[in-house]
Structure formats: structure tokens, C-alpha cells
């Protein structure tokens, strides 16, 4: 990117757009990113903004085909960024700058958007067969952000990567559970509860070769089982904490909002339709959340 004042001003505007998007649509992670060193913050906000844009693609349109076209556009944009081609979009402009400054793998960006494309391509009402399938989607859409942030910070640690994998999976699973009411209202069916879990809870119905999850008083049992998988990932991530390099700890702070959301789900007895889930930040006051986050960051804990 050119070093002219106009180019510098354009890049600053693009980065400001990324920060605003993350603050507006991913506030719990926005607060986490403020604890990153300044040289990593630009990349982290850009990756989170990219995730916001791709996550919103299917939600801001009434026709799923239009949403799929938006996702395909983002996949093409990633290719153009790595081919040094100009794309007129603030997140893509910020991404081009980050890629120029840091050695970040194209694989993670492509894997993230392709996971959303595959999800968008599923037949309406189709659910994952197993928890492993849902975990893979969570890793592709959430862990990849942490992998790229570690790369941007030049933190090369297999242990940190493993912790990031677990935290991303936990975060992704819990966010999918929190969003269930939105998807039920939009689709009229319950997505993101694996067929194997639904069957264990007596919620699985099969119609015309397609599996569906029934909506009844046993749904919290299925939510509990998926949340338990997320909790196991958080536990595994924290088991690795003593071996994680200290400079990787701020990158892994998203374990805290995942834990907060899990705790709120537990207080709501895993009823995803309980309005308490949407109060404040994942069901707790913003002040309490910030204090807890600051305390963890100060103690170098995640």
C-alpha cells in the first residue's frame, strides 16, 4: 500500500471501520482485544471484523441465495488480497495492510469463509449428525481467528495453538447455542443441535429422510450436552496454561467470555430462550465483565 498521505488516511479509515464493526457486533471480544499489545491489535481487529462480515452475510438478507453470493464474494476477496489486487471495501483494505505487514496464512482465512459457505449450502433444516461435526465448524470459524492473531504476533508455539483450538471450539459452540432462538425464529427449525445429541434426548424426528429436532421441554437437555462439550474444551485449554508462552496469554483471553456465557447458560438452566442470556455482556453487567477481564489480564490468566 502506498505511503502517500491519502493512502495513509484511507487505511486509517479502514481500520477505524473494523474497530467499529467489532465493537458493534462482537463487543465481548472487542474488550478482549484492547488487552493486546498495540502491534497486534490492528491485525486482531481486522480478523474479527472479517469474521463479523462473513457471519452477518446470511443474516442481513431475506434470500439465502443472496447471502451465499456475499460469502462467495468474500472468498474471492481473500484470493485478491493475496494476489495484491485492490478491493474497495474497508475490511479488505485493512486485511491487505495486515497481510503486507505480517506473515499470516491464507489457509485460515479461506477455511473460515469456506466453513460458512458450506453451512449456507446445507439444505434448509438440515442439522449436523455429530458433535464432532459441530466442533469442526466452531474451530473453522472461531479458532482460526486466534491462529491468525498468534501468527501476526509471531508467536510460534504448538501449545498456544492447541489452547487456541480448544478456546475457539468452546466459544463457537456456545455462541451457536446462544443464537438458537434467532435461527428458530428465522427458519422455524432448530439448527446446530447434532442429530446424535437430539436422539439421546428423545428430540430427534425423521421426515422424508431428513432429521429434525423437536421443540419441547427436553431441549435444555440437548443444550446442556453441547455446552458440556464446550466446557471440556475450556478445561483442556486451561490445563495447557502453564506451558503457554506469556506473550500468547492476551490472545487467549476469549476463554473468559466463553466461560461467562457458559455460566449464564447454567444459571438459565440451559434454556436458550431465557432473556437473561441477552442482558449486558453474555448475561452479566458490562462493568462486572470488564473488571473480570481486567483481573484475568493483569494476572496473565485466560
What does the pLDDT look like over 80-93, one tens digit per residue? Answer: 999 999 999 999 99
Average pLDDT score over residue span 125-140: 95
Q: In CATH, which of 2.60.120.200, 3.30.1490.100, 1.10.600.10, 3.30.70.240 is domain 126-301?
A: 1.10.600.10
More confident site: 64 or 277: 277
Q: Is the pLDDT of residue 72 over 50?
A: yes
What confidence tens digit (pLDDT) does each residue in 157-206 have? 999 999 999 999 999 999 999 999 998 988 888 999 999 999 999 999 98
Q: What does the pLDDT read at residue 1?
A: 45
More confident site: 4 or 111: 111
Q: Is the pLDDT of residue 290 over 50?
A: yes
Q: What does the pLDDT read at residue 122?
A: 87
Which H or E element spans position 12?
A: helix 5-25
126 within 8 A of 224, measured Cβ to Cβ: no
Q: What does the pLDDT read at residue 2?
A: 46
Q: Is the pLDDT of residue 34 over 50?
A: yes
Residue 230 CA to residue 174 CA, distance in Å, equals 7
- Give me the chain's average pLDDT, please: 95
Domain boundaries, the chain: 1-121, 126-301
pTM value is 0.94
Residue 112 CA to residue 158 CA, distance in Å, equals 20
Q: What does the pLDDT read at residue 9?
A: 84
Q: What does the pLDDT read at residue 6?
A: 60
Residue 127 CA to residue 273 CA, distance in Å, equals 19
Q: What does the pLDDT read at residue 5?
A: 65
From the number of C-beta atoms within 10 Å of its C-beta (0-12, 13-18, 19+), residue 183 rates as middle
Q: What does the pLDDT read at residue 59?
A: 85
CA 36 vs CA 81, 147, 165, 176: distances in Å: 25, 14, 19, 26
Q: What does the pLDDT read at residue 7?
A: 67
Residue 286 CA to residue 172 CA, distance in Å, equals 21
Q: Residue 264: which residues within 8 A CB-CB, separation 6 or more?
A: 276, 277, 282, 283, 284
Amino acid at each position: 500500500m502506498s505511503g502517500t498521505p491519502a493512502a495513509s488516511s484511507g487505511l486509517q479509515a479502514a481500520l477505524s471501520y473494523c474497530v467499529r464493526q467489532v465493537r458493534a457486533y462482537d463487543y465481548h471480544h472487542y474488550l478482549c482485544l484492547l488487552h493486546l499489545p498495540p502491534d497486534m491489535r490492528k491485525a486482531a481487529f481486522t480478523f474479527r471484523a472479517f469474521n463479523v462480515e462473513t457471519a452477518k452475510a446470511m443474516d442481513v438478507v431475506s434470500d439465502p441465495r443472496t447471502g451465499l453470493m456475499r460469502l462467495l464474494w468474500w472468498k474471492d476477496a481473500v484470493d485478491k488480497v493475496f494476489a495484491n489486487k485492490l478491493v474497495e471495501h474497508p475490511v479488505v483494505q485493512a486485511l491487505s495492510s495486515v497481510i503486507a505487514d505480517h506473515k499470516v496464512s491464507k489457509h485460515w482465512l479461506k477455511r473460515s469463509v469456506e466453513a460458512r459457505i458450506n453451512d449456507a449450502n446445507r439444505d434448509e433444516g438440515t442439522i449436523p449428525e455429530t458433535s464432532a461435526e459441530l466442533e469442526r465448524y466452531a474451530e473453522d470459524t472461531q479458532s482460526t481467528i486466534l491462529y491468525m492473531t498468534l501468527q501476526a504476533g509471531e508467536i510460534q508455539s504448538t501449545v498456544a495453538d492447541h489452547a487456541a483450538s480448544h478456546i475457539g471450539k468452546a466459544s463457537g459452540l456456545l455462541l451457536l447455542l446462544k443464537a438458537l432462538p434467532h435461527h428458530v425464529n428465522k427458519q422455524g427449525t432448530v439448527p446446530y443441535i447434532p442429530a446424535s445429541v437430539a436422539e439421546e434426548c428423545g428430540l430427534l424426528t425423521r421426515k422424508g429422510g431428513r432429521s429434525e429436532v423437536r421443540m419441547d421441554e427436553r431441549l435444555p437437555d440437548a443444550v446442556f450436552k453441547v455446552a458440556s462439550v464446550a466446557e471440556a474444551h475450556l478445561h483442556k485449554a486451561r490445563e495447557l496454561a502453564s506451558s503457554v508462552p506469556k506473550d500468547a496469554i492476551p490472545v487467549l483471553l476469549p476463554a473468559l467470555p466463553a466461560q461467562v456465557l457458559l455460566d449464564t447458560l447454567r444459571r438459565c438452566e440451559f434454556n436458550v430462550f431465557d432473556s437473561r442470556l441477552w442482558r449486558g455482556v453474555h448475561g452479566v453487567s458490562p462493568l462486572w465483565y470488564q473488571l473480570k477481564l481486567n483481573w484475568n489480564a493483569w494476572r496473565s490468566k485466560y
